[in-house]
Amino acid sequence: MHYTMLGRTGLEVGEVGLGTWSFNSSVYGPLAERDAQQAVHRALDRGINFFDTAPLYGDRDRHGVAEAVLGRALALSRRDEVVIFTKFGRKPTEGNRANFYGVYAVESVEESLERLGTDYIDVLFFHSPFSDDEIHDDVWEAIDGLKAAGKVRFIGHSISKIQDTQQMAQKWAQERKIDVVQVVCSLLNREAKTLIADLGAMGIGVVAREALANGFLSGVVERESVFPQGTLNARYSRREIVERVEQVERLSFLVRGEIGSLRRRPCVGFLIKRISRWF
């Protein structure tokens, strides 16, 4: 594992991290907790030291399921040897609606700390705000209070709908309100290329999420693959699945021996230092 500094945060992280969206969630189909915990332990064994989670990673009855699973899996680890990202602003139990205001931020962080079994969060991300109108002014004061209390170290923006929200990320970066961003970035989606360059020049840490294109770059998806109803990839038609698989095949000369070797391993997110080779 190669390690690098995450922007100006001073956090030293591996070039590969483990995302937890699939932990006890239906996003990629059923996953038993023992398998999720095994994925965390195998990640640690291989030098992975940063983990990404969120209260949204749960189901309609329980939010924060992935945080709780991750917290239990890391229970025997030395806290100073791992970097934990989590988010706030959306919960599945509340219909995923936006809640980016002060009281909610504090409540969400307190709940996340309890589930994760820790007393601080390394990076707290706004979870996919879709417009400036969703951000309440009091959220920044609340965040400053959480940082002053030592409960949150750095602030990030997990970006969705990039065309609508990239200006928000740039503005927050210029105002030094955020230290890190997460963007969708993979060989199949390079929409964030310009934003990555702009924010990187400001010293913002950039983390690529969905770096394996929701599994299509993992080497396990085939033309005939069928995704269970209710899972994320069930949104694709048969034609779209075939097109994406063919696209991956055309790119195989870039990933042979690297992405291809990830068969049967946990899905991972790549830091931008690794992604940057692909442009």
**Domain range for residue 7?**
3-274
Cβ burial of 30 (10 Å; 0-12, 13-18, 19+) is exposed
Euclidean distance between CA atoms 135 and 119, whole angstroms: 26
Q: Is residue 101 part of a domain?
A: yes
Domain count, the chain: 1
CATH number at residue 66: 3.20.20.100
Q: Is residue 279 part of a domain?
A: no
Q: Is residue 181 part of a domain?
A: yes
Find out whether 66 and 72 touch, Cβ atoms under 8 Å: no
Q: Is the pLDDT assigned to residue 275 strictly greater than 60?
A: no
Q: Is residue 103 part of a domain?
A: yes
> Which DSSP string corresponds to 169-212?
HHHHHHTT--SEEEEE-BTTB-TTHHHHHHHHHTT-EEEEESTT
Compute how many other C-beta atoms are within 10 angstroms of the C-beta atom of residue 37. Answer: 17
Catalytic-labelled residue, pool 3, 57, 101, 120:
57
- 42-84 tens-digit pLDDT: 999 999 999 999 999 998 888 999 999 999 999 977 889 999 9
pTM given for the model: 0.89
At residue 67, the 3 state secondary structure works out as helix
What would the two tokens of residue 81 be?
Answer: 């040897």
Q: Is residue 201 part of a domain?
A: yes
Using CA atoms, how far residue 267 sits from 81, 127, 166, 211, 249, in Å, is: 21, 20, 26, 9, 19
- 136-161 tens-digit pLDDT: 999 999 999 999 999 999 999 999 98
Euclidean distance between CA atoms 154 and 59, whole angstroms: 27
- 4-30 tens-digit pLDDT: 999 999 999 999 999 999 997 678 888
**Residue 57 among the catalytic residues:** yes
